[in-house]
Amino acid sequence: MPDSNFAERSEEQVSGAKVIAQALKTQDVEYIFGIVGIPVTEIAIAAQQLGIKYIGMRNEQAACYAASAIGYLTSRPGVCLVVSGPGLIHALGGMANANMNCWYMERCMSPPISMAETSAVCMAASVIRNAKQPLLIIGKGAAYAHAEESIKKLVEQYKLPFLPTPMGKGVVPDNHPYCVGAARSRALQFADVIVLFGARLNWILHFGLPPRYQPDVKFIQVDICAEELGNNVKPAVTLLGNIHAVTKQLLEELDKTPWQYPPESKWWKTLREKMKSNEAASKELASKKSLPMNYYTVFYHVQEQLPRDCFVVSEGANTMDIGRTVLQNYLPRHRLDAGTFGTMGVGLGFAIAAAVVAKDRSPGQWIICVEGDSAFGFSGMEVETICRYNLPIILLVVNNNGIYQGFDTDTWKEMLKFQDATAVVPPMCLLPNSHYEQVMTAFGGKGYFVQTPEELQKSLRQSLADTTKPSLINIMIEPQATRKAQDFHWLTRSNM
């Protein structure tokens, strides 16, 4: 990269940069994420002069993930500024992710609202009325469409059980009495009518296929995107249009004749019983006193202190999957998840985006970013970004010393006694007892290394109490791989 002298930049560059910055301003851009270099530095400066906020990141991947979350959070375009060449290629991951999750970058105007065909609405209402075991599934599309008011009314007025997808959480609060998240598998498996609000029948929903669903289940699909309708299963009714507008159409139609789904039905009874037994099972896991802690113990203690209005960002394998079932959302668009792809590396970028938005629009709200230890490694250097801008983020690294699993320190040392690490370390293992919290203290934030429930409780309390600094809590859990290292077959080479 040729050397750049700040003083030398040409008049042409400056005026070109001003034109680009003005164009971004005209398109209502509020936030730019990026890494400057020749020749984009001037654009960042020009944008700041117009009042656009520029957040300098440490790797283009994270910058692009951050930018991609802005559209979802603010319905205005997020911009990622990178130099061409390698910077652009680094940013590709973020762009692919935005696309798969159907988010918008650089979108220009809010789209006009469309409604569903009247006759299709009638048919949908009739199918719902005649359902014996109905279920609503609330997806990210419902959150994006700001459909919380209409969907909540539908749930409550007709007493219908509902289930959120990961990013649909909070459209109706997770602790709503009609939320059957704790009986998810049961609800999916036995529902006879399922209404999908901006939710896709992808792998997270088992593609809508038996044996996870009844073979003759009727799907009613409410979506803005025609291409998504009927992708895996042929829906009984499809309502194409803005999800909030269509839900209002549905409410209007259902209102014509007094009706509600009987709260004492066998279906409700089944679901409530299953919820009760599932919740008891996970509470039992959570209450285990053995150390290192397990996932449930950790998440129950986090949930106890989780502010009602916080954002939750999460990525990882078990960390994201189990965390999602325990940590509750009460507000729409307050959960950001690794999503459809299972993309690793999105967490810190998402958290940073949520934090800069929260600082402006809902000051005082925390961003709780729950990361697996492997997931944290993809973009851990963004902790410097968090500290530089002093963002209200608490990072929880749920640390099992590996990907899916790892070794404890003793086993690790034993393994390395006789051989070099590059020859014998199993591919999913990371260094045991890594002090990720020091990556935070290195930049002036607070760091905690916790091994017991008490330490966890205390560190959470302190982190939440001090609103002047970000924190990272490094939470040691069971590495799972409890067998002795020498038992592992990969240490017995087959043909040497």
| Nearest-approach distance from CB 316 to its own copies, in angstroms | 9
Residue closer to its own copies by CB (options 141, 161) is: 141
> b/e per residue, 359-383, with b = 16+ CB within 10 A?
beeeeebbbbbbbbbbbbbbbbebb
As given in the structure block, the two tokens for residue 45 are 């400066």
For residue 178, the minimal CB distance to its own copies (Å) is 27
Tokens of 235: 């829906």
Q: Cis ω on the peptide bond leading into residue 2 (within 30° of 0)?
A: no
With respect to its own copies, which residue has the nearer C-beta, 14 or 280? Answer: 14
**Judged by CB, which is closer to its own copies: 155, or 415?**
415
CB of 409 to its own copies, least distance (A): 11
Are β-strands 218-223 and 193-197 bridged in parallel, bridged antiparallel, or unpaired? parallel
Amino acid residing at 221: Q
The residue with tokens 């967490």 is: 347
Q: Which residues contact 220 (CB under 8 A, 6 or more apart)?
A: 124, 127, 128, 193, 194, 195, 196, 235, 236, 237, 238, 239
- Min. distance of Cβ 240 from its own copies in angstroms? 4
How far is residue 346's CA from residue 33's CA, in Å, rounded to a whole number?
A: 14
Nearer to its own copies, 133 or 399 (CB): 399
Write down the least CB distance from residue 404 to its own copies, Å. Answer: 5
Token digits of residue 219: 């799907």
**Cα(451)–Cα(434) distance, integer angstroms:** 13
As measured in angstroms, the least distance from the Cβ of 237 to its own copies is: 8
Residues 336, 370 contacting (CB under 8 angstroms): no
Q: Smallest distance from the beta carbon of 89 to its own copies, in angstroms?
A: 4
Strands 335-337 and 162-164: unpaired
> Which residue number, 211 or 427, has a Cβ lying nearer to its own copies?
427
Q: Which is nearer to its own copies, 90 or 333 (CB)?
A: 90
Least distance (Å) from its own copies to the CB of residue 463?
18
Nearer to its own copies, 97 or 328 (CB): 97
> Residue for token digits 């129950």?
300
Identify the helix (H) or strand (E) that includes residue 220: strand 218-223
> What are 405's strand-pairing partners?
403
Q: Give the C-alpha separation, 361 to 229, whole Å.
A: 34
- Return the number of the residue (176 or 317) whose C-beta is nearest its own copies: 317
